[in-house]
Amino acid sequence: MAKDPVRVLVTGAAGQIGYALVPMIARGIMLGADQPVILHMLDIAPAAEALNGVKMELVDAAFPLLKGVVATTDVVEACTGVNIAVMVGGFPRKEGMERKDVMSKNVSIYKSQASALEKHAAANCKVLVVANPANTNALILKEFAPSIPEKNITCLTRLDHNRALGQISERLNVQVSDVKNVIIWGNHSSTQYPDVNHATVKTPAGEKPVRELVSDDQWLNSEFIAVVQQRGAAIIKARKFSSALSAASSACDHIRDWVLGTPEGTWVSMGVYSDGSYNVPSGLIYSFPVTCKNGEWCIVQGLSIDEYSRNKLDLTAKELSEEKDLAYSCLS
Ligand code: NAD
Ligand code: LMR
């Protein structure tokens, strides 16, 4: 029997990531090849014509799984009945703007969209925040949508996770699908900690630790970390725009694994509400290793953390606490 369609909201749908993401969702890459979808696309009034153009292209692409498209600048219409919300819309940093100015614009957007989601989304709607500062926007959304379960509000660090897999695969000249269990800890920013201490590679002789296969500790402890931390900036430098196809693809990975589950023995990185695991302060949206089953994520427990890693986990937590304070000062 055919499944009922799932309603998926994409905010900022006329932007770069939106343009890459909506066809992926309509093709079944996010929710599976047997899952019909109805796309809800939100953007702001100046982008209304472009948004309508995206809608026209979705119709023209004749996606079999796409059962409807709502393209709107009305946040209530956009949020009504949605089961999944991918929050990409936001205010980009412009020349001469201070960090606080960008934060201020974005946290007030996320505060008001939190209320719309809380009132109008389907019960148990799952939320993924992509727009930067992703962790702090997600935290503000959580704080101003108190009736949405905190487990349902997450942010994207899967792109960083995938970047880490990509770097290891290039270095070892192995298939990226044979590398697993890297971890991104903390903020989606240059203080994030890409950790390979528990990562493995599938080889003909079984699974081997990345640290055994990459004998160059110096590369793993410095260049690898810096490349992953700085990859977003490197893409902006090369393309003059921030990452879009990789961000869209990683957003699909994040939701697919959350909804359909992670493979046995594999974890992924998600920005989730901290419960104090690994002595990360609770009350932050922080990226942890998680496994997913039956539509729920669960932080992987019991991993050993050496002193070097501990300092890195604490540093990125400190940045997130500062961002949280800044966000609240912008709202007051
Ligand atoms: P973009 O500027 O091309 O698109 C953003 C869109 O959001 C625009 O169409 C804009 O009109 C719209 N928008 C602005 N305010 C809005 C509002 N209040 N409601 C709805 N829509 C609104 O930007 P992009 O390249 O698509 O990137 C989007 C965001 O994602 C940026 O914040 C970027 O920094 C972030 N990003 C995050 C990651 C990650 O891994 N977390 C990766 C890449 C980019
Ligand atoms: C990325 O990681 O590619 C983006 O978050 C970079 C950015 O600043 O938009």
Q: What pLDDT, in 10s, does the model give residues 22-49?
A: 999 999 999 999 999 999 999 999 999 9
Active site residue 198: no
- Sequence-separated (6 or more) residues with CB below 8 Å from residue 130: 17, 86, 87, 88, 155, 156, 247, 251
The whole-number pLDDT of residue 87 equals 98
- Distance (angstroms) between ligand 2 centre and the Cα of 232 equals 4
Cβ of 135 below 6 Å from ligand 2: no
Cβ of 90 below 6 Å from ligand 2: no
Q: CB count, 10 Å around CB of 111?
A: 18
Nearest residue (CA) to ligand 2, atom 2: 232
Tokens for 164, please give them. 């880490």
The whole-number pLDDT of residue 227 equals 98
Among the listed residues 21, 1, 66, 92, the one whose alpha carbon sits nearest the alpha carbon of residue 254: 21
Cβ of 232 below 6 Å from ligand 2: yes
Whether the upstream peptide bond of residue 5 has omega within 30° of 0, thus cis, is no
What is the C-alpha to C-alpha distance for residues 94 and 324, in angstroms, rounded to an integer?
22
The pLDDT tens digits of the residues spanning 163-173 come to 999 999 999 99
pLDDT < 70 stretches in the chain: 94, 99
- Sequence-separated (6 or more) residues with CB below 8 Å from residue 188: 132, 133, 134, 135, 155, 156, 157, 159, 160, 271, 287
Cβ of 72 below 6 Å from ligand 2: no
User: In this structure, are residues 24 and 248 in contact, taking their beta carbons and an 8 Å threshold?
Assistant: yes
Closest ligand 1 atom, residue 251 Cα: 40
Helical (H) or strand (E) element with 185: strand 183-185
Cβ of 183 below 6 Å from ligand 1: no
CA torsion sign, 105 to 107 to 111 to 116? positive
What is the C-alpha to C-alpha distance for residues 302 and 220, in angstroms, rounded to an integer?
22
CA dihedral 317, 319, 322, 324 (to 10 degrees): -60
What is the C-alpha to C-alpha distance for residues 321 and 176, in angstroms, rounded to an integer?
34
Q: How far is CA 59 from CA 28, 41, 72, 91, 261, in A?
A: 16, 14, 16, 28, 30
DSSP 8-class letter at 25: H
DSSP string, 103-165: HHHHHHHHHHHHHHHHHHSPTT-EEEE-SSSHHHHHHHHHHT-TTS-GGGEEE--HHHHHHHH
Place of tokens 């997450």: 154
Closest ligand 2 atom, residue 93 Cα: 8
Binding residues for substrate: 93, 99, 132, 163
- Distance (angstroms) between ligand 1 centre and the Cα of 12 equals 6
What is the C-alpha to C-alpha distance for residues 294 and 262, in angstroms, rounded to an integer?
10
ipTM over 0.90: yes
Cβ of 137 below 6 Å from ligand 1: no
- Distance (angstroms) between ligand 1 centre and the Cα of 24 equals 17
What is the C-alpha to C-alpha distance for residues 96 and 326, in angstroms, rounded to an integer?
19
- Distance (angstroms) between ligand 1 centre and the Cα of 220 equals 32
The whole-number pLDDT of residue 312 equals 98
Judged by DSSP in three states, 175 sits in coil
185 — phi, psi (to 5°)?
-100, 135
Out of 161, 188, 198, 254, the active site residue is: 188
